[in-house]
Amino acid sequence: MSQTPASYYVPDPSPWPIIAVASVFSILLGSVLSINGLFPGMMFIILGFALFAYLLFGWFGDIVRENMAGLYSEQVDSSFRQGMIWFIASEVFFFLTFFGALWYLRNVAADWLTGKGYLAGTHELLYNQFFSEWPRTGPGVKEEFTPMSAWGVPALNTVILLSSGATLTWAHWGLKAENRKLLVRGLIATIGLGLLFVVLQAWEYQEAYQHLNLTLKSGVYGSTFYLLTGFHGLHVTLGAIMLAAILGRSLKGHFTPQNHFAFEAVAWYWHFVDVVWLGLFIFVYMM
Amino acid sequence: MGFTFKLPALVLLALILGVLIEALYFLSKDHGDKDKTRVARALSLRASLALILFLLLIAGAFLGFIRPHGM
């Protein structure tokens, strides 16, 4: 890396934010069309994800090139760290909202609907035959379902994610000790475990739909189950993609024990996703 | 989930969150020549605490203190 510049680096106008918006729009438009059974839906979804892949590749590449060209001052470095904290703050609130929704439904709204608490009148006004039972289908759902057991795939996935936290820590210490072999092996193991997690979750969903009759329509339990675990699975997928970018950079020898913010930011993100899963395992699967 | 297991499980979860936030603080502070191993150490502790929590949950279920729904 060359000498640290004194001035704050301002990049040229970048096309990436526009491409980001276009990819998200395409995915959403495709999803809306697909839900309504219209033909071009899947095409828009594929186009959106292709654009998203192009975006990640291009934007990550620009940042890496700027960094390796030594364009970033210490102040820019601080900006990246602040950006990371704001990003994480938005992620924390994102998941807090979903965990909060689950808690509110089970501990507050269910009481009112069953005729307890200061809004007990809701029971008479809305639906006087409602009774609370968790996991429950909800009063309007006639079909029976089996809730997802905590053991089996969810417990196995917990072991897998906990192991991935260990292999990533292994890679982290390898980086600190300038042991690139350890760093690369640790990262490969972590990415492999992350992908295995996603595959097993997809299989769990398939089992839930085909054999347990647990679907998005299985009342408030089904919708919160898929909302929380689905968004977490999306985060594992994105984390694995980011770890793959870090693996590529590690193979090229971009990181030193003193300069490796990208590695630590992604590693921290992975640990965060791991902790969110522990929360899901306790509050969605066990309680 | 019985209180006997709920309390230590929640305390462990709170500790894990605390250590994770601590690691984020170190991540924002330690860079360049000032870089230390504080982030790596905090994240190692995070991974170890998570393992202890999971073992506690398994033990709780095995001993019958925890009865997850769907069982």
Q: Residue A88's closest CA among A261, A235, A272? A: A272
Residue with tokens 């609130």: A93
As given in the structure block, the two tokens for residue A226 are 């898929």
**What's the confidence (pLDDT) of residue A210?**
93
Predicted ipTM of the assembly = 0.91
**What's the confidence (pLDDT) of residue A130?**
78
From first to last of its 71 residues, chain B has per-residue pLDDT tens of: 566 778 888 999 999 999 999 999 999 888 765 558 899 999 999 999 999 999 999 888 888 877 776 44
Residues in Cβ contact with A178 at an 8 Å cutoff, skipping those fewer than 6 apart: A256, A257
Residue A91 has pLDDT above 80, yes or no: yes
Chain A, residues 196-255, CB within 8 A of chain B, namely none
pTM of the model: 0.89
What does the alpha-carbon distance between residue A260 and residue A258 come to, in Å, rounded to a whole number?
A: 7
What does the alpha-carbon distance between residue A222 and residue A44 come to, in Å, rounded to a whole number?
A: 27
For A207-229, what is the mean pLDDT?
90
CATH of domain A9-72: 1.10.287.70
**pLDDT band at residue A195 using 50, 70 and 90 as cut-offs:** very high
Residues of chain A with C-beta less than 8 angstroms from the C-beta of B39:
172, 264, 267-268
For A153-164, what is the mean pLDDT?
95
Would you call A96 an interface residue with chain B, using a CB distance cutoff of 8 Å?
Answer: no
Percent share of chain A, pLDDT over 70: 96
For A211-217, what is the mean pLDDT?
88
As given in the structure block, the two tokens for residue A20 are 């980001």
Which DSSP string corresponds to B32-44? GGG--SHHHHHHH
Give A116's Cβ-side CA count (13 Å radius): 9
Q: How far is CA A8 from CA A60, A67, A71, A78, in A?
A: 20, 13, 8, 11
**What's the confidence (pLDDT) of residue B40?**
93
Domain A75-286 - what CATH class?
A: mainly alpha
Please provide the average confidence, as pLDDT, over all residues in chain A: 90
Nearest by CB to A275, which of B20, B28, B69? B20
Give A15's Cβ-side CA count (13 Å radius): 8
**What's the confidence (pLDDT) of residue B2?**
62
What does the alpha-carbon distance between residue A153 and residue A229 come to, in Å, rounded to a whole number?
A: 13
Of A59-73, A108-122, A157-171, the range with the highest mean pLDDT is: A157-171
Nearest by CB to B47, which of A84, A169, A287? A169
Condensed to tens digits (0 to 9), the pLDDT of residues A242-279 reads: 999 999 999 999 998 888 899 999 999 999 999 999 99
For A76-101, what is the mean pLDDT?
93
- Where along chain A do its domains lie? 9-72, 75-286
Q: How many CB atoms lie within 10 A of CB A260?
A: 22
Would you call A150 an interface residue with chain B, using a CB distance cutoff of 8 Å?
Answer: yes
Residue A28 has pLDDT above 80, yes or no: yes
**What's the confidence (pLDDT) of residue A150?**
86
**What's the confidence (pLDDT) of residue A1?**
46
Condensed to tens digits (0 to 9), the pLDDT of residues A41-76 reads: 999 999 999 999 999 999 999 999 998 998 888 888
Condensed to tens digits (0 to 9), the pLDDT of residues A198-208 reads: 999 999 999 99
What does the alpha-carbon distance between residue A85 and residue A238 come to, in Å, rounded to a whole number?
A: 18
Residue of B nearest to A214 (CA): B70
